[in-house]
Amino acid sequence: MPAKRTRLDRFISARLIINRRNIKAMLAQGRVFVNGELANDVQMLVDEFSNVVVDGKALSNQTPTYIMLHKPIGVVSATQDTKHKTVIDLLDRADKRDFHIVGRLDLNTSGLVLLTNDGLWSRQLTSPQSDVEKRYHVTLKNPLTNEYAPAFAEGMYFAFENITTRPAKIEILSEFEAEVILVEGKYHQIKRMFGRFQNQVVKLHRHSIGEIQLDPNLQPGESRELTQAEVQSTLKKRGLNQIANKT
């Protein structure tokens, strides 16, 4: 996955094919700058998006990119697939193979999918400790009752994986429609939770991840880059200033 962090001396050594022992002297001579600042510590952490300059030459020139996509039903959340079109196939850009998916949706679920070339951002966004809320609009086959809310809030035990889901929220919108809020994403979790009530999910659509809302102007299959405000909305809660400064 992109954006793995590494020590400055290892980064320079790999790109200039020089011995790491020589790099400390280069820093002492004032020949190395990182993100516009004179570097003085070979152990400082950098990644492929860091602006590392040695003797006036930039060693990296990549820009972190963040994309929202309106995934249609019938498209898989994968980088490649032999049977179905993938979300990567839907991107109309030359560098689309550089991107990976941040939170997948199954074949028959539509809605918001995020993609990026920034592994640090995606790891933070999907970490179990991040508590990022994902909101789904659910259409059911059978009528909803007030029994659902306490069961979702308590969490449900799935014997196959020997896990108990984290508390989830459900708001009944109409007799057959509800909004479900999760902070995790177990395998077919929403469908299996409603399955406890023998109620089939007819339609499932994710419309937000954290504060990022699916752009209503995006038709199924369309995508656009996130705005700076949208990217930063995912960072403030977790204090990831090192990413925010790159956008």
Q: Is the dihedral of CA 137, 142, 144, 148 positive or negative?
A: negative
DSSP string computed for 120-172: HHHHHHH-GGG---EEEEEEESS---TTHHHHHHH--EETTTTEEPPP-EEEE
b/e sequence 33-49, b meaning 16+ C-beta within 10 Å: bbeeeebeebebebbbb
Cα–Cα distance between 114 and 218 in angstroms, integer? Answer: 13
Residue recorded with tokens 């909004």:
179
179: helix, strand or coil: strand
Residue numbers annotated as active site? 106
Which of these, 243, 239, 224, lies nearest to 3 by C-alpha position?
243
Q: Which helix (H) or strand (E) holds 209?
A: strand 201-209
